[in-house]
Amino acid sequence: MLTERMLQEEFEAEALTGLFSLFEDRSVRYAILRNYESLPYSVGARDIDIVLMPEDLWATTEVVCELAKNMKLRFANYYRDERLTQFVLFRRTTAGEVLELKIDFFTNSQVYGIEAFTAEQMLYDLRHHNGIPVVNEKFIFLDKWLFHLFVGKSVHPKYDAEFAEICQREKDVLTVDLVPLLGKDRVKGLLDSVVSGVASQMPVLSRGTRVYLLARMLANRGLRGAGHFARFLGHRFRNLAAPKGIFLSISGPDGCGKTTVINQVISELKTIYGDDSIEYRHFRPAALPRIADVAKAAHAIETVDKDYSNPHRAKVSGTVGSLARVGYYWLDYLVGYFRSVRPVLLKRHGYAVRSLLLRYDRRSRAKPDRSAKWFPAFRRSPVAVAAIRILHSCGPRRGPSP
């Protein structure tokens, strides 16, 4: 019997073989950027990174669509910005397992929209592995290391040995490529540290130094570099103004399976996008403390009831109390959006909240769910309906990339 891992590897081998065959048929100019060792039999990592000529990006999109059609795959994600174009394809087995293939396409090597190396440079002097073109090994190092250097983050320790070997073999060539970007004195010290096998332990450059080096690199790129940087700013502005994606609400009476569905969705999303891709809150963003804790701090009550086994233990609230509760939770969602939700969306992660505050239906007035027990005194009031609508509309209509 095939294990889940064996099914995934079998799926990857079929998909990768089909992908590279279609590339050859369409004369797509490409090369693998890193993690090529197990190709074309398996990805060997969470995704496969491919460099291609900008003019071939549309043909590449058609290739991915044709591959999905041939293998009867579905799209879990499509994302594009100034730096990469990403596709996530998946298939569900008869046993319910999710088999996926994540592909990232790059048309240059850049940081913050500032081009470090063009596709023409990266596709020159290619190597081949099992008949598949692979970039020159210096770009395996330069693309990953330079990006982390300029964003102020250390590379993962798993790259220490590989980067040390590359720098030892290609030190003279790397020096020539890096001096225009970083300066002669700085390059020598940085490469010496990488050769010693401690790339992940190197101190990050100060913000001022990084800004200066990026500005110098941008100035050296001329009009072409200015165009790339303008597109970067455009993408970032649109993302800040309105993160793209979907907003999904699941409503229903107690015991209908909302939590079960949400837990299953979260599990599926983590399978496809990674365990760190979903932020989860039980009830609300919790930017503000619980109402009971506030009341106790104000000495309005002596104790806080924490018998969570009985969710309907609270007494029915009157009109004033219910409106105050609506206002408090609305404020929490509003503050919580900017404090905890929006930063997650800007990282293209998912954000899940287990329970909505209430649900209102004009035909049946109120549903027999938990929230209806909170609002019996004014559930037919136009003021209550307005408050409910405001509450449901307080967040953005758009969410993270699915």
51 phi and psi angles, rounded to 5 deg: -95, 135
Q: Which residue did the predictor score with more confidence, 280 or 61?
A: 61
ω into residue 289 within 30 of 0, thus cis? no
Q: At what angle do helices 57-71 and 4-25 cross, to 10 degrees?
A: 130
Enumerate the β-bridge partners of residue 352: 280
The answer to whether residues 170 and 117 belong to one domain is no
User: Is 104 inside any structural domain?
Assistant: yes
C-beta separation of 236 from 390 below 8 A: no
User: Is 253 inside any structural domain?
Assistant: no
Enumerate the β-bridge partners of residue 86: 79, 104
Cα 113 vs. chain centroid, distance in angstroms? Answer: 18
Residue from 120, 196, 190 nearest 165 by CA: 196
For position 257, what pLDDT does the model report?
Answer: 80
278 phi and psi angles, rounded to 5 deg: -125, 125
User: Which whole number is the average pLDDT over 248-269?
Assistant: 77
Residue 161 above 50 pLDDT?
yes
- Token couple for 223: 């009009």
d(CA 103, CA 76): 12
For position 288, what pLDDT does the model report?
Answer: 82
d(CA 250, CA 266): 13
**Residue 285: Cβ within 10 Å count:** 21
Task: Report CA dihedral (280, 281, 284, 286) to the nearest 10 degrees.
Answer: -120
Mean pLDDT for the chain overall: 81
Residue 400 above 70 pLDDT?
no
The 10s digit of each residue's pLDDT in 220-240 is 888 888 888 898 888 888 877
User: Is 358 inside any structural domain?
Assistant: yes
The answer to whether residues 99 and 234 belong to one domain is yes
Residue 308 above 80 pLDDT?
no
The answer to whether residues 266 and 199 belong to one domain is no
Percent of the chain with pLDDT over 70: 82
The 10s digit of each residue's pLDDT in 1-11 is 567 788 889 99
The answer to whether residues 119 and 49 belong to one domain is yes
For position 392, what pLDDT does the model report?
Answer: 44
d(CA 340, CA 334): 10
Domain limits for position 14:
4-138+208-241
User: Is 169 inside any structural domain?
Assistant: yes
The answer to whether residues 213 and 265 belong to one domain is no
For position 172, what pLDDT does the model report?
Answer: 93
Residue 386 above 70 pLDDT?
no
User: Is 149 inside any structural domain?
Assistant: no
Write the DSSP symbol of residue 333.
Answer: H
Query: Into how many domains does the chain fold?
Result: 3
Cα 260 vs. chain centroid, distance in angstroms? Answer: 24
The answer to whether residues 217 and 179 belong to one domain is no
Residue 363 above 60 pLDDT?
no
C-beta separation of 395 from 244 below 8 A: no
Q: Which residues contact 128 (CB under 8 A, 6 or more apart)?
A: 134
pTM, entire model: 0.72
Can you spell out the DSSP letters for 128-191?
EETTEEE--HHHHHHHHHHHHHHHT-PPPGGGHHHHHHHHHHHHHHHHHHHHHHH-HHHHHHHH
d(CA 317, CA 390): 20
User: Is 385 inside any structural domain?
Assistant: yes
For position 312, what pLDDT does the model report?
Answer: 62
Left if phi > 0, otherwise alpha if psi is -120 to 50, otherwise beta: which for 299? left
The answer to whether residues 284 and 380 belong to one domain is yes
ω into residue 400 within 30 of 0, thus cis? no
- Token couple for 139: 């770009």
For position 246, what pLDDT does the model report?
Answer: 66
The answer to whether residues 191 and 321 belong to one domain is no
The answer to whether residues 12 and 109 belong to one domain is yes
For position 376, what pLDDT does the model report?
Answer: 36
User: Is 144 inside any structural domain?
Assistant: no
The answer to whether residues 99 and 121 belong to one domain is yes
The 10s digit of each residue's pLDDT in 23-52 is 999 999 999 998 899 999 999 888 999 999
C-beta separation of 49 from 104 below 8 A: yes
Q: Which residue did the predictor score with more confidence, 23 or 251?
A: 23
For position 303, what pLDDT does the model report?
Answer: 79
For position 370, what pLDDT does the model report?
Answer: 39
379 phi and psi angles, rounded to 5 deg: -70, -15
Burial of 219 (0-12, 13-18, 19+ CB in 10 A): exposed
For position 85, what pLDDT does the model report?
Answer: 94
Residue 272 above 90 pLDDT?
no
User: Which whole number is the average pLDDT over 246-273?
Assistant: 76
The answer to whether residues 189 and 219 belong to one domain is no
The answer to whether residues 231 and 123 belong to one domain is yes
User: Is 246 inside any structural domain?
Assistant: no
The 10s digit of each residue's pLDDT in 57-114 is 999 999 999 999 999 999 988 888 888 999 999 998 888 788 999 999 999 999 999 9
Residue 393 above 50 pLDDT?
no
Q: Within 13 Å of residue 116, how many CA atoms lie on the same side as its CB?
A: 25
